Amino acid sequence: MDQKAKVWNQCLALLHKQEEQSKRREALLLRQIQDSIPDSQQLGSLSVTELHVISVIGKNTRMNVTTIAQNIGVTKSAISKITVKLLKKGLLERFQLEDNQKEVFFRLTKVGELVNSIHDSFHAQLEKKMYRFLDNFSEAELTCIARFIGEATKELEKNWTET
């Protein structure tokens, strides 16, 4: 098998494994959230995008629909729908500034802060594991890997469904 075919096959295997592991990690995170929050049934399930909205709001003050959408790379319409869900689940609250009654901002409730804290801890654990794994590679290898992943990401952003 030539090198290109080998790389292609390994990329496919990596993408499949990532998809599989992503579902497991998501289920584990949701279980941690449910175990940590009394009366977590009212939360229902949380999507990855909902968790990212919570995370962005948790890291920034005075976030509105536009700034959240810009931070996450999702449409304002999608963010509007997500914030409505998160408001109903009691994870966000709306507020307005004294000098600007037109614009609506969001902040986390106490429960939203707890969910955000669990989410941040979960990501920190994943990052720690990845850094331990990356310790196996030299700086030159890491430079090559970073270049490959960067270029592969750009390529995947293109529409590969057209031939």
- Containing structural domain, residue 92: 3-157
The answer to pTM > 0.85 is no
Contact 57, 106 (CB under 8 A): yes
| Cβ neighbours of 160 (radius 10 Å) | 8
Helices 110-134 and 3-36: angle between axes, nearest 10 degrees: 150
Q: How far is Cα 51 from Cα 115, in angstroms, rounded to an integer?
A: 8
Q: What is the pLDDT of residue 113?
A: 95
Is residue 101 assigned to a domain?
A: yes
Give domain status of residue 163, yes or no: no
Pairwise pLDDT comparison (69 vs 37), residue with the higher score: 69
Mean pLDDT of 51-67: 93
Q: Is residue 139 part of a domain?
A: yes
Q: How far apart, in Å, do the first and last CA atoms of the chain sit?
A: 25
Give the chain's domain count: 1
pLDDT in tens, 84-122: 999 999 999 999 888 877 889 999 999 999 999 999 999
